Amino acid sequence: MARSATRRFLAAAGLPERDLGELPESPKRFPDGAHYRIEIPSTEGPRAFEAVLDEAERLDVPVVRMSQGSGVFMHTDEELDEMARQGARAGVEVSLFARPNAGWDTSAMARSPVGPLVAPTARGTEQLVAALEDIRRAADHGIRSVLIQDIGVLSVFSAMRASGELPSDMQAKISVMLPVANPAAARAITDLGANTINVPTDLTLGQLAAIRAAINIPLDVYVECPDNLGGFVRFHEIAEIVRVAAPVYLKFGLRGTTDPYPAGKHVEPTLVAFSRERVRRARLALDLLERQEPGVFTTSRGGATGLAVPALRSVRA
C-alpha cells in the first residue's frame, strides 16, 4: 500500500509514521543502564511515605520514586521538610503535585459533562501563579521533582529553571492528567522542558513503542491504576512494557479505589494501608516479570543517577 504524503512527512520529521505493532525492543536506558524503575503514586503525606519505605524494605521492592497528588499547598512546612528528609535519606525521588487547577476551583465547565477536558488546567493567571508558587515552595523545602498538568505551567517552569529562578536540577514530571497520547505530542512536551511523561493509562504496546521511538526521556506507565483512570491491571504485559518502553517508570496504583485528593489526616489510616498495598502489588508484578523473563531486565536502586532526590542541604533542621 502506498504511503500517504502525511506519513512521509512524519517520517521526514523523525516521527513514527504509524504505531509500531511489531513491538521493537527499545535500546534506550536510564543513565545507570537500567531498563525500568519503580514508582509508588498517591503517597499522601509523611506517614504514607514512611509506610512505602518500610514495606519496600520488607518486601525487597526497589522503590526509587514516591509521588503525591494533593499538591504542595496541602502540606505544612514541617510535613514538607519531613518528606524531603525521608526521600533524601533513602535516595528516593519525591515528586509533589503543583496545584491548584480548574477542577478544584469554581469552574462551571469543570463540572459539566465535558469537565475532565478542562479540570486539570490552571484556570486564569491567578491559578498559573498559584501553581508556580507551589513549585517555588517545594524547591525551598528541598524537593526537586514536581508533577505538572498544564502546558502553561510547564512552559513557565522551564523558563524559571533556565533563568535560575528555580534550581537547575529541578525536574518536571508530566501528570497523566495532561494527556500525551502520540509521538508528536510527546516530542512537543519534551521540547517544553518535561523530564518524564506519564502517558495515558490505556495506550497499547504498539502506541507506547511509537512514543518511545520519538523521545529519549523516561515514560511513566501505570501497570495498575485506580478506577477513575480506567482500573486497568496490566501485570501480564509487564515484560513487554519494559521491553518496548525502556527507560520506563512502572507505576502501581490500586484498582477498586479512586484518587483521594485532597488527602489529609482524616483519612490517614486508609492512605497508609493503600500505600503498603501498592508496594505489595509492585512485588507481585516484579515476581511475574522474573518468571516471564528471568534475569533479562535490570532496575535501579536508591540514589541512582538521574533521580530527583531531595536536596537535604535545603531542608531546615
pLDDT in tens, 72-113: 999 999 999 999 999 999 999 999 999 999 888 889 998 999
Task: Give me the pLDDT at residue 312, please.
Answer: 81
- CA–centroid distance for 33 within its chain: 20
Rounded Cα gap, residues 281 and 251, in angstroms:
10
| C-alpha distances in Å from residue 99, one per residue of 5, 48, 129, 167, 290 | 42, 20, 10, 19, 38
Low-confidence ranges of the chain (pLDDT < 70): 1, 313-317
pTM listed for this prediction: 0.95
Rounded Cα gap, residues 130 and 180, in angstroms:
24
Domains of the chain in sequence order: 27-305 (3.20.20.70)
Rounded Cα gap, residues 268 and 48, in angstroms:
8
Rounded Cα gap, residues 220 and 62, in angstroms:
16
Q: What is the pLDDT of residues 160-192, one digit of tens each?
A: 999 999 999 999 999 999 999 999 999 999 999
Indicate the SS3 state at residue 33: coil
